[in-house]
A and B are shown apart, each in its own frame.
Chain A
């Protein structure tokens, strides 16, 4: 697609990440959006586009009113929870590239720990006759009600087919926490874990242990998108969008695509990968940092395989060989990921990609040129590549 290398992330802004923000999600949303504008050096009133998750409960028009945005010429939403993370950026890029908007804010803000807890799942969701509610009925009456449980079903099959173990999942968690330990913004700052800690953590949904699961976070994260050209006139070094794409594949279901011939891969992420490589003209060897969506550790493994960092079924060895650490071939989740830093539906990962391009990460990878960021797995998803501005 032609917006490759023409669009950039110009500003990032976040609140603190906590378990009890003490204020409303609307306040968090407005704070992080204002911070993103300030980071970019752009008055919020200049913003004329907003793209958010359909899961977002702070309407863009209310956030706009609070920010003093007078006119919006593009506003849209992306569905499917964390799968929307890079999708909102892709949609913003298309809006900007087509001329529908000049400066677009994307944000995600919630009190997901102190208000409604995400981990409690959908068991108390009211009954209804609409297709989405009805689709949950193929799993919820049996106790499969939470994101962890939906992922666990994939994890068991992956373990069965490839001989992966709980420890292989644990190594992902250990790297996340190791990187978070260096990150003052991370909830788990200065609190690394060992594989033994992981193995000793309690079962949430067997085979997933507590330390396989991302946090539940109170907080907000916003990103300001504009053309690469306009970004060059703003305060920060532009993080150029080499590519961004969405993907939904055959027989796709929300978190429960259990009915395909094989369930050990993530074909919708493979679809994103194909588009990213094609749009960016890059390949796995060009990627310097991988910000890989880690709501639950088991699905990190097939993502590495879908992007071609290793062969099918070999991610466990790729990880065990240390490739995800700062000295490895694919430094991973340098902010600490959603297990270590915060769970902001992947938006905080995109911000970390921007910091790696700017050279301001707490776990900076030397001369990082291309950063892969992925969005939620097991759902219709999205991914993007951020690159240095070579203009």
Chain B
């Protein structure tokens, strides 16, 4: 064992002192978190509704567990020319607390492993937190791995376990947590540029666009075939450029038609205009093009015949899901792809199903049930807002320059947000009064801006039926896939009621 590893492992088993949440459980932080995650469960914010719910009062989203004790902004206040903050407001003050863990991280930083990504988070919830309760966590270093070659770079996995309790000593939950500390630009896929590639080389994940075609195959077209247009069809493409899906309409008899024509075949009018479609539709038919090779597409494109709710159909791509998830009849939502060649295309992804307002009952769920697909567009705002809402001010989640420096092609979503979004997904499906018992996730490909992560899931177990038959534990397994691959995989156990809890 190297000297470094010996040093790194010297703190294993040591429980650090309590890290106290700077604030008690409070409405503003819950609101900020719910807004950033898109969480609408009334038990978290709506006092009146929560009173009639299973908790009898407002509770915090359980996935916020470790957000309460996050250290907050780590700017050295004095460096900004200000007098030192009082100790209880200073992020620096927590440095001495989690001794063994922070020492391990400092050693890794000093040895060049300055990159950091979280890879695993497993929450166990003993109960939901109420307003006014203040929690503290005691973190124990449990493992430091050998040096490993990963897709991101050479590094060590560091694993901790944290027990959470209220300041009154009432245990509320625990967390198993693992991060990877790595040397930037030493990833498996960075190839010859290892160690000295610029930020544009990406995070070391391969992008298979432009892959070599088979010999004797037709010459690959590197870009999407460009649409031809003329004055009869221009309105459609101009609409797409303005993020509008337009359908030709006869100004005389109001009949809609696509593809557009020059005369209304129903009434004979040549006075044709257009309407803006809602962008909602269902899938009428589909196929996936494997041949001829189309390197403009990262994956063999999924092509759908989409029936709009206005009644007309159009051909488009179905994005942000796998071909196995594509089904005739599925609900779709338009989005607009801006092509580097200068035109825009209306494309479709699975539509997000609205949150379930009436909580799922045991009789309505069985093992094997599929949860609806749920796309989560990853805007820079979404990534930064969720990071801040989880009190995670690590620079790689909001500062692109520093993310580059630490080996990423761009900022990326923090694990507390992935966990939060997964909990929202499960909560939307199960309804407000299903109660989380745990939430376990593992991260893979990073969630970078301008991508989209689509959640899917299924019921894998129903067990631990309550003696009085009032509830049982339902296990769901879920995944969130983005264009690079699976970002998140995990599971949750929910207590699902047999009868309405309100």
Q: Is B230 an interface residue when CB atoms closer than 8 A count as contact?
A: yes
Given A153-B287, A206-B288, A258-B315, verify A143-B233 contact (CB < 8 Å): no
Q: Which of B5-56 contact A (CB under 8 A)?
A: none
Q: Is A135 an interface residue when CB atoms closer than 8 A count as contact?
A: yes
Taking CB atoms, residues of chain B closer than 8 Å to A207 are 287
Q: Is B219 an interface residue when CB atoms closer than 8 A count as contact?
A: yes
Contact bitstring A97-132, B, C-beta under 8 A = 1, else 0 = 000000000000000000001011111110111110
A134 CB contact (under 8 Å) in B230, B290, B345: B230
A205 CB contact (under 8 Å) in B284, B291, B314: B291
CB atoms of A204 and B315 under 8 A apart: no
Given A120-B292, A145-B292, A145-B294, verify A140-B225 contact (CB < 8 Å): yes
Given A117-B218, A140-B225, A141-B345, verify A206-B290 contact (CB < 8 Å): yes
Q: Which of B452-480 contact A (CB under 8 A)?
A: none
Q: Once the chains are docked, how many angstroms separate the CA of A153 from the CA of B230?
A: 26
Q: Once the chains are docked, how many angstroms separate the CA of A205 from the CA of B293?
A: 11
Taking CB atoms, residues of chain A closer than 8 Å to B229 are 129, 134, 137
A258 to chain B, nearest CB (A): 5
Taking CB atoms, residues of chain A closer than 8 Å to B224 are 141, 143
Taking CB atoms, residues of chain B closer than 8 Å to A155 are 287
Interface with A: B136-144, B170-178, B297-305, B395-403, which one?
B297-305
CB atoms of A142 and B230 under 8 A apart: no
Q: Which of B245-268 contact A (CB under 8 A)?
A: 257-259
Q: Once the chains are docked, how many angstroms separate the CA of A335 from the CA of B253?
A: 52
Taking CB atoms, residues of chain B closer than 8 Å to A157 are 284-285, 305, 328
CB atoms of A205 and B305 under 8 A apart: no
B303 to chain A, nearest CB (A): 5
Q: Is A200 an interface residue when CB atoms closer than 8 A count as contact?
A: no
B394 to chain A, nearest CB (A): 39
CB atoms of B289 and A205 under 8 A apart: yes
Q: Once the chains are docked, how many angstroms separate the CA of A258 from the CA of B312?
A: 10
CB atoms of B289 and A149 under 8 A apart: yes
Q: Is B87 an interface residue when CB atoms closer than 8 A count as contact?
A: no
Q: Once the chains are docked, how many angstroms separate the CA of A208 from the CA of B343?
A: 30
Q: Is B323 an interface residue when CB atoms closer than 8 A count as contact?
A: yes
Given A127-B228, A144-B315, verify A121-B292 contact (CB < 8 Å): yes
Q: Is B316 an interface residue when CB atoms closer than 8 A count as contact?
A: yes
Taking CB atoms, residues of chain B closer than 8 Å to A202 are 290
A143 CB contact (under 8 Å) in B232, B294, B312, B313: B294
Q: Once the chains are docked, how many angstroms separate the CA of A125 from the CA of B148?
A: 49
CB atoms of A153 and B305 under 8 A apart: yes
Q: Once the chains are docked, how many angstroms separate the CA of A134 from the CA of B233?
A: 8
B311 to chain A, nearest CB (A): 10
Q: Once the chains are docked, how many angstroms separate the CA of A99 from the CA of B69?
A: 96
Q: Once the chains are docked, how many angstroms separate the CA of A145 from the CA of B303?
A: 11
CB atoms of A137 and B292 under 8 A apart: no
B318 to chain A, nearest CB (A): 9
Binding site secondary structure of chain B:
loop
CB atoms of B328 and A160 under 8 A apart: yes
Taking CB atoms, residues of chain B closer than 8 Å to A160 are 285, 328
- Contact-residue bracket for chain A: 35 or more
Taking CB atoms, residues of chain B closer than 8 Å to A136 are 228
Contact bitstring B191-235, A, C-beta under 8 A = 1, else 0 = 000000000000000000000000000110100111111101100
Taking CB atoms, residues of chain A closer than 8 Å to B290 are 202-206
Q: Once the chains are docked, how many angstroms separate the CA of A203 from the CA of B292?
A: 11
Q: Is A148 an interface residue when CB atoms closer than 8 A count as contact?
A: yes
Most central of A122, A124, A130, A258 by chain B CB within 10 Å: A258
Q: Once the chains are docked, how many angstroms separate the CA of A366 from the CA of B451?
A: 64
A129 CB contact (under 8 Å) in B228, B289, B301: B228
Q: Is A198 an interface residue when CB atoms closer than 8 A count as contact?
A: no
CB atoms of A142 and B303 under 8 A apart: yes
Q: Is A316 an interface residue when CB atoms closer than 8 A count as contact?
A: no
Q: Which of B334-391 contact A (CB under 8 A)?
A: 339, 343, 345, 347
CB atoms of B230 and A205 under 8 A apart: no
Q: Is B286 an interface residue when CB atoms closer than 8 A count as contact?
A: yes
Taking CB atoms, residues of chain B closer than 8 Å to A145 are 225, 289, 292, 294
Most central of B225, B259, B301, B345 by chain A CB within 10 Å: B225
Q: Is A154 an interface residue when CB atoms closer than 8 A count as contact?
A: yes
Contact bitstring A139-181, B, C-beta under 8 A = 1, else 0 = 1111111101100111111001000000000000000000000
A139 CB contact (under 8 Å) in B230, B286, B297, B315: B315
Q: Is B317 an interface residue when CB atoms closer than 8 A count as contact?
A: yes
A264 to chain B, nearest CB (A): 10
CB atoms of B313 and A258 under 8 A apart: yes
CB atoms of A137 and B227 under 8 A apart: yes
Given A136-B228, A137-B233, verify A142-B317 contact (CB < 8 Å): yes
B284 to chain A, nearest CB (A): 7
CB atoms of A154 and B285 under 8 A apart: yes
Q: Once the chains are docked, how many angstroms separate the CA of A282 from the CA of B315?
A: 40
B227 CB contact (under 8 Å) in A141, A146, A148: A141
B300 to chain A, nearest CB (A): 8
Taking CB atoms, residues of chain B closer than 8 Å to A148 are 291
Q: Once the chains are docked, how many angstroms separate the CA of A106 from the CA of B257?
A: 38
Q: Which of B420-453 contact A (CB under 8 A)?
A: none
Contact bitstring B70-95, A, C-beta under 8 A = 1, else 0 = 00000000000000000000000000
Q: Once the chains are docked, how many angstroms separate the CA of A204 from the CA of B218?
A: 14
B316 to chain A, nearest CB (A): 6
Q: Once the chains are docked, how many angstroms separate the CA of A135 from the CA of B219?
A: 23
CB atoms of A153 and B285 under 8 A apart: yes
Taking CB atoms, residues of chain A closer than 8 Å to B289 are 143-146, 149, 152, 205
B16 to chain A, nearest CB (A): 54
Q: Is A263 an interface residue when CB atoms closer than 8 A count as contact?
A: yes
CB atoms of A259 and B313 under 8 A apart: yes
B265 to chain A, nearest CB (A): 8
Q: Is A256 an interface residue when CB atoms closer than 8 A count as contact?
A: yes
Q: Once the chains are docked, how many angstroms separate the CA of A344 from the CA of B257?
A: 36
A156 CB contact (under 8 Å) in B225, B233, B328: B328
Given A143-B301, A143-B303, A144-B303, verify A149-B287 contact (CB < 8 Å): yes
15 A-B pairs within 8 Å (CB atoms) are namely A117-B218, A124-B221, A135-B259, A138-B259, A144-B287, A145-B225, A146-B289, A149-B287, A153-B285, A153-B303, A155-B287, A156-B286, A203-B291, A204-B291, A208-B287
Taking Cβ atoms with an 8 Å cutoff, the residues of B that contact A are 218-219, 221, 224-230, 232-233, 257-259, 284-292, 294, 296-297, 301, 303, 305, 312-317, 323, 328, 339, 343, 345, 347
Taking Cβ atoms with an 8 Å cutoff, the residues of A that contact B are 117, 119-125, 127-131, 133-146, 148-149, 152-157, 160, 202-208, 253, 256, 258-259, 263
Beyond A117-B218, A134-B228, 18 extra complex contacts between A and B, CB < 8 Å: A120-B218, A129-B229, A133-B228, A134-B230, A137-B227, A141-B339, A142-B345, A143-B289, A143-B301, A144-B289, A146-B292, A156-B287, A160-B328, A203-B288, A205-B289, A206-B287, A206-B290, A259-B312
Top 10 A-B pairs, shortest CB-CB distance: A120-B218, A152-B287, A143-B301, A137-B227, A157-B285, A129-B230, A140-B225, A206-B288, A127-B228, A160-B328
